[in-house]
Amino acid sequence: MIYDLIVVGNGLAAQTFLFELSKSRDVKQSQNFSIAQIYSEEIAASCSLRSTATVCLSGIEDDVSDLGNELRDSYYLFEDFQKIYLPAGVEKVSRLVTYTNDIKI
């Protein structure tokens, strides 16, 4: 079979990509658009469940730069994805930043 798109993996990046793609108007309107997702935990275990990453808005403000705006928008897209789909291995936690003096802040 021939597919329009093949997604390799079932980690967080693959799930988020497929989530955003499913919201695309072009994909929704096309009745012939086909996607294959290929993954195997036995052959190549997903990295997302075996790594540590932090997603936060620390130091990111609106309209400072195009990249900052992209990072901020991406944060909120990920936050929505996490709330709706509760992907395995992703937890919402409170962040606590500590320091010993004002110089090390």
Task: State the pLDDT at residue 54.
Answer: 73
pLDDT at 48 > cutoff 70: no
Tell me the two tokens of residue 21: 């793609």
6: enclosing H helix or E strand: strand 5-8
CA distance 47 to 50: 5
pTM value > 0.75: no
| Residues 97 and 40: beta-carbon distance below 8 Å | no
pLDDT at 78 > cutoff 90: no
- For the stretch 1-41, pLDDT in tens is 899 899 998 887 888 888 888 888 777 777 778 889 999 98
